[in-house]
Amino acid sequence: MGSAAVEDAVESVKAEPASGAVAGPVPGAVPETARVKKSRGRPPAGGSPASTDEIMATALRIFARDGFAGASVAEINRELGVSHNLIHQRFGSKEGLWFAVVDWVFGHAAALVAQGAAGPELAPLEEFRRGIVRFLILQADYPDAVRLVSMESAIEGPRLAYLYERHIEPILVRLAKPLEPLIRRKVLTRNDLRSIHFLIAHGATAPFSALPLARRMAPGDPLSAQAVRRHARFVADMIVAGVEAKANEPGASAKRPGDAADRPSGDDEQSRG
């Protein structure tokens, strides 16, 4: 599913009718590698035959597959068919390349999310639902970014700090904005937002980032435009229905910060014992 297909899918989401009484966007984090087509054969190893997009897409794929420690700048240069010192000349170091790759892929994601968010004013939960759909459609085109974020999320350090503060948190804030009325009413807490984020950004993106497993579990290509849209809408409908049910619980608006919503329940305590 290429970038053009993603943009077409986003447009179809913007035009789709509201489902029931629900609405709205979600927190999440990030997209896959742009698929760059190269001509066959190895270009001359001098100069810079590779475009910036080719370098970024190749480096993203290798960082996502091998991790930062395992990724080899020499291998990236070989795959691009360029001079062995091109990466160091352009980015200074492997770390410099990693930061450039992250900025590149999140720049694409933020631009597409912002573009898809423009439209008529909607009820908060419908806006939230459409935001989930847009987010997942974008992730389908960037599975390597999902893999990279999952890998870096398990390692505390400066790369995770950069990822979160520079890119993930701003997207979370933007996409969770329609949930602000429920946060003000104490129906949802920060812990709830974290759960929603992981359900969508790591759980619902798994058919794209864990493609071999997804293909074993059901027939059909999980990355076909039709399958991506169906999956995105199915996930969005389920999550919004859960949020709506929570909002309609008796006494849902009477909760206060530090109340049972933020403290472990008796069952949680017993399960830890």
User: Could you report the per-residue pLDDT of 39-49, keeping only the tens digit for each?
Assistant: 444 444 444 57
- 14-17 long-range contacts (CB < 8 A, ≥24 apart) are 14/116, 14/119, 14/130, 16/130, 16/133
| pLDDT given for residue 133 in this prediction | 92
Asked which of 5-14, 155-164, 249-258 is least confident by mean pLDDT, the reply is: 5-14
Q: In this structure, what is the dihedral angle of CA atoms 124, 226, 215, 149, given to the nearest 10 degrees?
A: -40
| pLDDT given for residue 97 in this prediction | 95
Give residue 24's pLDDT band: very low, low, confident or very high (50, 70, 90).
very low
User: Do 194 and 262 contact (CB within 8 A), yes or no?
Assistant: no
User: Could you report the per-residue pLDDT of 109-154, keeping only the tens digit for each?
Assistant: 777 666 655 666 778 899 899 889 988 998 898 889 989 999 999 9
| pLDDT given for residue 71 in this prediction | 94
Q: State yes or no: pLDDT of 6 exceeds 70.
A: no
| pLDDT given for residue 110 in this prediction | 73
